[in-house]
Amino acid sequence: MDQSIGQFIGQFGIRSIPVSSCCIQIASVLRSKVSFPGTSSYEATQESYWSIQEASLYPSCIVVPDTAQDVSEAVKILAGFPDCQFAIKGHSHMPASGFANINGGVTIDMTTLSSVTINNDHTVVSIGSGAQWLNVYTYLDTLDLSVAGGRNGLVGVGGLTLGGGISYFAPRVGWACDNVANFEIVLASGELTNANATSLPDLFRALKGGMNNFGIVTRFDLTPFPQGEILAGVIANPISDRDAVFTAFSNIAGSEEYDPYASLVTGLGYNSSVKGSWSIGTTAVYTKPESSPAIYAEFVAIPSTQNTLHLTNLSTFADETNTPPLNWQFFTGTYGVSANLMSRIFDSLNSTLYNLELPSSWVFWDIAFEPLPTIMTQYGDKNGGNSLGTSPKDGNAFVMLLSALWPNSTFDEVVQETAEKMTRDIACIADDMGLLHEFQYINYADPSQDPIGSYGVQNVEYLRQVSRKHDPKGVWQRQVPGGFKLGLKY
Ligand SMILES: Cc1cc2nc3c(=O)[nH]c(=O)nc-3n(C[C@H](O)[C@H](O)[C@H](O)COP(=O)(O)OP(=O)(O)OC[C@H]3O[C@@H](n4cnc5c(N)ncnc54)[C@H](O)[C@@H]3O)c2cc1C
Ligand SMILES: *[C@@H]1O[C@H](CO)[C@@H](O)[C@H](O)[C@H]1NC(C)=O
Ligand SMILES: *[C@@H]1O[C@H](CO)[C@@H](O)[C@H](O)[C@H]1NC(C)=O
Ligand SMILES: *[C@@H]1O[C@H](CO)[C@@H](O)[C@H](O)[C@H]1NC(C)=O
Ligand SMILES: *[C@@H]1O[C@H](CO)[C@@H](O)[C@H](O)[C@H]1NC(C)=O
Ligand SMILES: *[C@@H]1O[C@H](CO)[C@@H](O)[C@H](O)[C@H]1NC(C)=O
């Protein structure tokens, strides 16, 4: 059966087509780029999922497009059958079940579209949306250039950029999405087009924070900047010195004159199998080749059990090792900068976790704090704007990523309840102190949270309006159930 028949049937609205027929329709056009359960190609995608929750879903077929045109063909067919449900997969670093995979439907695995090229005058880097950040840094390091992207090279370009994207360069250039010059995108109609500051500017802004609600992005054109070596490493401290660490973090993150080259993540770790086993460490980066910048002097003076700060390049530092298959859960929150708040967050976490054990198994808790300074959020209304709603008027803040990782799925519920409780307790403490911010970073949010709502009423209304215009039938809202949706009715 050829594509025109697929479209023909779609046009006349035969809606109750069994799901596997969706696959047969696509396979009639994309042939061997569609794979079915039991084949090595299907298994390769299934095994590439980062979280157990995503790897445990079984689509009827998996489409692996080679070109943007392939994506367009697939969407044309899918959009013609409202009962065909599908998922869009990048490098699957959003762990929640169903965000990038689907039971019974069609999964479109974008990871083959991973080319990285640069234009002649080195002003635009074009990146296939299925690339990993390491592909990008490896390419750009040799040109003494970089872009704002993921800190861990294994993360996908697609999800990170569409959700905002916190890079080591954030204080210099804003969210990763603020550095997009152009999105090449397949719309609900199947049309392959560009969204940028002059062509479809409404979509351009909506995509910066809009995740998979507007189409399948096939290529990101990012604006690079000159970049040499960086100072980077991990400083680990005894947990008894945590208050000194919180103070050092807050002095950097809360500074009225934030050093734009400073980028850090301070994290707490706790393994449920060893009572009281708290650890604290900071990944500190200075995005200039300086071996002992003054900004880190306070950090470096705290007694440490490890300090690996050294000059390196991003493609080396971002080349992290992958984790084994595990269950993962993320929760997030945003708060005003305060060492006292961080200290109270620690006590609150400890009061919940101290007595939580999993019989003959374990869960590891990782609570990371990342600056969200005004010098970063000031880029939100430049270059056509983004839809995140973060603004300098909210002051210097920090984002928390609370993550849990555990091997045995028997404990999904207890981990979920515990993570939810801890996030709620922290929000209460921050609220009491007048430090609770509305923003919830979508790339760190749990399905029970409402990150799109946190962008603010005006941004939500804007996103809905752009969706009604470019996707009147709600292909991305109704046929792509995974991820945070816009709450539109049809
Ligand atoms: C180890 C680790 C490190 C991380 N480091 C950072 C970091 O430094 N900075 C940061 O900001 N975040 C970081 N994150 C969070 C990260 O931004 C999100 O997990 C991100 O969504 C991952 O993108 P992905 O394409 O790999 O994931 P996927 O799970 O494949 O995709 C995420 C969502 O985006 C959609 N999507 C993906 N590609 C496309 C596309 N081309 N078109 C339309 N929709 C698409 C998917 O449908 C899915 O709903 C990290 C996460 C992990 C697990
Ligand atoms: C980056 O650093 C690595 C390790 O030191 C080195 O092998 C590589 O050549 C460097 N890349 C560039 C482009 O300088
Ligand atoms: C914006 O999109 C138009 C229309 O596709 C295209 O001609 C133009 O080159 C794009 N601009 C950028 C900066 O990519
Ligand atoms: C937690 O502790 C258990 C038991 O000691 C160990 O097997 C596991 O690897 C630890 N997990 C992490 C992430 O360190
Ligand atoms: C964690 O809480 C337990 C129980 O209240 C307490 O004994 C312990 O000292 C706390 N740990 C830290 C590091 O404060
Ligand atoms: C998971 O935990 C349950 C309850 O403790 C146990 O019965 C089961 O054997 C564990 N599964 C694995 C794979 O360890």
The CATH class of the 230-444 domain is alpha beta
Q: In whole angstroms, what is the distance from residue 117 CA to residue 247 CA?
A: 43
Which CATH number applies to 116-226?
3.30.465.10
Ligand 3 and 184: CB distance under 6 A = no
- Say whether 230-444 and 116-226 share the same fold: no
Percentage of the chain modeled with pLDDT above 90: 96
Helix 3-11 × helix 68-80 angle, to 10°: 40
Nearest CA to ligand 2 atom 7: 316
Work out the mean pLDDT of the chain and round it to a whole number: 96
Nearest CA to ligand 4 atom 13: 364
Q: What is the pTM of this model?
A: 0.96
Q: In whole angstroms, what is the distance from residue 452 CA to residue 126 CA?
A: 27
pLDDT given for residue 20 in this prediction: 80
pLDDT given for residue 267 in this prediction: 98
10 Å CB burial of residue 235 (0-12, 13-18, 19+) is buried
List, for residues 424-449, the tens digit of each pLDDT value.
999 999 999 999 999 999 999 999 99
> Which spans in 269-356 are helix H?
297-301, 314-317, 339-353
Indicate the Cα dihedral angle 201, 206, 207, 211, nearest 10°: -170
126 C-alpha to ligand 2 centroid (Å): 22
Domain-by-domain residue ranges, the chain? 3-112, 116-226, 230-444
pLDDT given for residue 18 in this prediction: 54
The domain defined by 3-112 carries CATH number 3.30.450.20 = no
Ligand 1 and 399: CB distance under 6 A = no
- Of the candidates 432, 358, 429, 401, the one whose C-alpha atom is nearest the C-alpha of residue 266 is 401
Q: Is the pLDDT of residue 346 over 90?
A: yes
